[in-house]
Amino acid sequence: MTVIGPSLSGAKLWIMGGNMHKVATGDGARRLEISARRQGEFRRSEHVRAVEVFEVTAVKERTHVEMERVEGVGLAIVCPQWVDHAAEVVNFVSRQVDNARMGRVPLNALLEKIDEVRTETRRKHGNHPVFEQGFIDTISLIDDARDVAVPFGYYHGDLTLCNVLCDCEKNPPWGVALIDFLDMVLPTPLFDIAKIRQDTERMWITLFTPEVDPVRLTAIDDIVLENFSSYDWWDPWYPVFDLLNLLRLLPYAPPGRVTDWITAELERDQ
Ligand SMILES: Nc1ncnc2c1ncn2[C@@H]1O[C@H](COP(=O)(O)OP(=O)(O)OP(=O)(O)O)[C@@H](O)[C@H]1O
Ligand SMILES: [Mg+2]
């Protein structure tokens, strides 16, 4: 048995019998159950698939998922073609935007979520002026954007590059396999764009894998901008999802370099 870890979400991962096992307990158990269900229901599209889920066992605040293990862990590290594969992921999100239904954002649900994240952030980090300003700015941006419709539809929910595994050697022509889906407060691919750009624009991934080349990240970011920045919702709504994405990391962020990184990113925008 090979143990993988530790992860920010607090889940435990190990390899046994050639398969990947993931277990979450307490608050994370329900999250993992929903995530595994969404991963299992994923419909293949061109070169993007989800890692196959074999079994989900959820008993009393403990969820155990057994899934296929993809060899080429960490697209951005192992695969020489990873910029092309990342472009496939951007295309996948782009198709979700194209197939989406346009609608107004339910403000109450969004504001309630922000309030919840703010309460959890204060519990974890106290009343930090930069974080408080981040929440104020988000609410004020929402107020300006409220009349502009956004796309609603299918999304991954936690589309960082670490959740995109390289699958091209074992399973050609499948370029990538997705893991670690997450349910969000609103079903919109805007969350996925913000998550990809957490790595490609803000370069979060270099905190954990410093060998990733920033020039390549910027190349992917250019593809993201090319695909999405001319939509009507981009200017009013993207900054909201981007900021909310950063703030949502805070309740999980341990003190030290992760929290310092988020603080610096928020300060850069204020
Ligand atoms: N099915 C799999 N095949 C190969 N590697 C995997 C698989 N599932 C997870 N991993 C490896 O374990 C890492 C953590 O897994 P996962 O993203 O599911 O956990 P997590 O608890 O959400 O972690 P984090 O909070 O860091 O995203 C992945 O980034 C990947 O490197
Ligand atoms: Mg993950």
Q: Could you tell me the CATH number of the domain that includes residue 51?
A: 3.30.200.20
Say if pTM beats, i.e. exceeds, 0.85. Answer: yes
Cβ–Cβ contacts within 10 Å for residue 254, how many?
9
| Residue 59, beta-bridge partner list | 62
Number of folded domains in the chain? 2
Atom of ligand 1 nearest to the CA of 69: 3
Q: Which of 64, 163, 195, 258 to mutate to test the pocket of ligand 1 (most atoms within 8 A of CB)?
A: 163
Distance of CA 152 from the midpoint of ligand 1 (Å): 27
Residue 13 shares a structural domain with residue 124: no
Residue 212 per-residue DSSP state:
S
Q: Which of 44, 68, 92 is the last residue before a domain boundary?
A: 68
What pLDDT, on a 0 to 100 scale, did the predictor assign at position 124?
Answer: 96
Domain region containing 22: 2-68
Give the residues of the chain that fall short of pLDDT 50: none
Residue-wise pLDDT tens digits, 34-50 = 999 999 988 777 678 89
Q: Does 33 share its domain with 83?
A: no
Which residues are paired to 151 by β-bridges? 102
